[in-house]
Structures are given as structure tokens and as C-alpha cells.
Amino acid sequence: MITSIWAQSKNNVIGRNNHLPWSLPDDLKFFRQETKNKAVVMGRKTYESFGSKALPKRLNIILTSNMDFKSNDPEVKIVHSPIEAVNTAKEQHLPLYVIGGASVYESFMNMADRLLITLVDANIKGDTFAPNFSEKSFSLVSQCHHAQDKKHAYSFDFLTYERKNKSDQV
């Protein structure tokens, strides 16, 4: 199974200057719970935004077109195509979670079985945007609201979409 997971504002922003433009501790907790003990695939810039360190308790797969890119971290696997990322996760018998950035989300959209989207109830300035997906291809199967509180500057909703028809996949 391939799951794409991201948080976006109402105006589709997912990042600014290679960082999340908000602090939502419960969303980060959700992300950790969902991806723990799974394979995660990310682009090189996303990996570098984490301090070039592997996310703990996950198989970290870096998708890059830079054939010279190396990591000294033994927890990191470098791949150069989405199919290579899928095969790397399959070899370890792990579900694959796509965690960004924007071009990585786009490259996996036709393969995704499920989308986990945190929709932040705000319009936020940013320079990186959520991937487009067709509601003809995906069905909203669950929605859970989280109110604004002392730890969360914005309210948000956890949305789960599942692919309607597997024949839509490439």
C-alpha cells in the first residue's frame, strides 16, 4: 500500500522556505504514529530540512535525481525513481508513506492508494503547494476535527481519502 501524507492550508500551502509554516503538535504526533515502523520516501530537500538525519524507527528512502548524492546514515536508502522506492519498501515488507516534498508527492500520485491530509483552517503564505488530486479518483472516507487550543494556533481536520478504483492507478 502506498499512502501520501501531508498537511496543507486552505490555500494549498504545505511549506515555506523548506519548513512547515505552522506548529501543530497533534498533527506531528499523528504523523509519527502513522509512519512509525513503515518505509517513508522523501526528496533530498525534505531530508535536508530534517537536518540530513533519518527519521527514527522508519526505513528512510531518499528519492533524488542527483546521482552523486550520498548519505553517511546507514538508516537511509538512496533511490532515483519512484519504482525503485516502491521496490525498496517491498523488499523490507513495509508499506510506503510518501512524505514530501511537492515534486515527490506529484510523482507518486498515480500510485497512491490512500491520502492522509491534515487540512489547516487558515490561509497561509508559502512557496510550496499540495499536489493536485481528483476527487473522481478518491473518496473521502473519514474526517476528524481538531479545535484550536493553547497548543494549536489553528483548528484543523484529519482527512482520509481512499482510491475509488484501482484501475485508475498507473
**pLDDT tens by residue, 69-102:** 998 888 899 999 999 999 999 999 999 999 999 9
E-assigned strand segments in 30-88: 39-43, 59-63, 76-79
Name the average pLDDT for the chain: 94
- Return the C-alpha cell found at 53: 538525519
Q: Give the pLDDT confidence score for residue 168 in this predicted structure.
A: 57
The torsion of the CA quartet 85, 95, 41, 116, rounded to 10 degrees, works out to 140
CATH number for the domain spanning 61: value is 3.40.430.10
- Return the C-alpha cell found at 43: 526528496
- Return the C-alpha cell found at 146: 481538531
User: What share of the chain in percent tops pLDDT 70?
Assistant: 97
Residue 130 contacts residue 156 (beta carbons within 8 Å): no
Q: Residue range 3-12: average pLDDT?
A: 98
The domain tally of the chain equals: 1
Q: How far is CA 137 from the centre of its chain?
A: 19
Residue 95 contacts residue 89 (beta carbons within 8 Å): yes
Q: What is the pTM of this model?
A: 0.94
Q: Give the pLDDT confidence score for residue 135 in this predicted structure.
A: 86
Domain of 124 in residue numbering reads as 2-168
